[in-house]
């Protein structure tokens, strides 16, 4: 008749559920091994938990910063023109060329000192041109938006509220 064990194995291979049977056997063997050495089991489970947590947090950061579109009116039509630092006359010429762009704005990153409780606290921010929020399509929640008139020399002298911060729409803050 032959080998009975070989016949049983051959019969199992034709079963449609052989994958689940193999998985069940692997799980039983793993549980037996983990019961034999609880210290090793704790290290393995802790390592898996840290690895899964780290991957989840990195993906969340990557998803929010890179994969989601920018929270502006038409993110696909934005273009960045950069060539070092441009002078104000060059910027005026670029912004005057309405035949080239639907809208243009300038910005420069800067660190500002904000007084809080009598102590200066550094805050990251930016110098922006008057059409910054208009071109991006970001509405103000409260306060006055910048206008192209704020780009002229002496604009800060004409309006004391010129550089008061406008609060961005709550929807923009939620999308970040």
pLDDT tens digits along 68-96:
777 777 777 777 777 666 777 877 787 78
| pTM reported for the whole predicted model | 0.46
Q: Which phi and psi (to 5°) does residue 171 adopt?
A: -65, -35
- In this prediction, residue 98 has a pLDDT band, given cuts at 50, 70 and 90, of confident
Q: Tell me what pLDDT residue 163 has.
A: 38
What is the Cβ-side half-sphere exposure of residue 138, based on CA atoms within 13 angstroms? 22
Top pLDDT among 34 and 107 is at 34
CA-closest candidate to residue 172, choices 127, 129, 126, 133: 133
């Amino acid at each position: 008749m032959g080998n009975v064990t070989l016949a049983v194995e051959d019969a199992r291979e034709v079963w449609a559920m052989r994958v689940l049977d193999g998985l069940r056997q692997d799980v039983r063997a793993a549980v037996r091994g983990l019961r034999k050495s609880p210290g090793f089991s704790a290290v393995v489970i802790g390592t898996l938990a840290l690895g899964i947590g780290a991957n989840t947090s990195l993906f969340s950061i990557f998803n929010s910063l890179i994969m989601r579109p920018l929270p502006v009116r038409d993110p696909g039509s934005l273009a960045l023109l950069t060539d070092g630092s441009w002078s104000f006359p060059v910027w005026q010429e670029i912004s005057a060329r309405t035949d080239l762009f639907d809208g243009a704005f300038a910005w420069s990153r800067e660190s500002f000192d904000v007084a809080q409780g009598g102590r200066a606290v550094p805050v990251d921010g930016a110098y922006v041109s008057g059409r910054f929020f208009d071109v991006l399509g970001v509405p103000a929640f409260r306060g006055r938006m910048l206008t192209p008139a704020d780009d002229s020399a002496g604009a800060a002298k004409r309006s004391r509220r010129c550089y008061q911060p406008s609060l961005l729409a709550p929807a923009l803050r939620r999308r970040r």
